[in-house]
Amino acid sequence: MQITTGLFDEDFPGAICASPDMDPEAWHSDDLTLQDIAVELCGYCIHGPNGDGSCLDLAIRLDSQAGHAWGVWGGVTARERQLLIDEEDGDSGI
């Protein structure tokens, strides 16, 4: 998680997920309850879906380039991002 925390400290100042009060595992868990909580918290972040959207933009770039961004980024799960990427590429995912 250090890589993500360092990235957000530098490129996404004020990100909720990088707050010392938050457990980074919540954003990178297979637990659906933790994912739901992370998605909700992203909604309050200045870099999230109701903010500038920059976190999701980065995650989609990372996913598209290397399948890299695991977890909740920008209020969207890895599965949801893959669906967005497939939609952009014209792939129905079927």
In this structure, is residue 16 part of a structural domain? Answer: no
In this structure, is residue 27 part of a structural domain? Answer: no
Q: Which residues neighbour 18 within 8 Å (Cβ) at sequence distance 6 or greater?
A: 4, 5, 8, 9, 12, 24
CA pair distance 18, 25, nearest whole angstrom: 11
Q: Which residues neighbour 22 within 8 Å (Cβ) at sequence distance 6 or greater?
A: 16, 41
In this structure, is residue 39 part of a structural domain? Answer: no
Per-residue pLDDT of the chain (94 residues), as tens digits, is: 334 545 566 778 889 988 888 888 889 898 999 999 999 999 999 999 999 999 999 888 888 887 767 889 999 998 899 888 888 777 655 5
Structural domain including 64 reads 46-94
Q: What is the pTM of this model?
A: 0.79
In this structure, is residue 64 part of a structural domain? Answer: yes
CA pair distance 20, 74, nearest whole angstrom: 18
Look at residue 51 and give its three-state secondary structure: coil
In this structure, is residue 75 part of a structural domain? Answer: yes
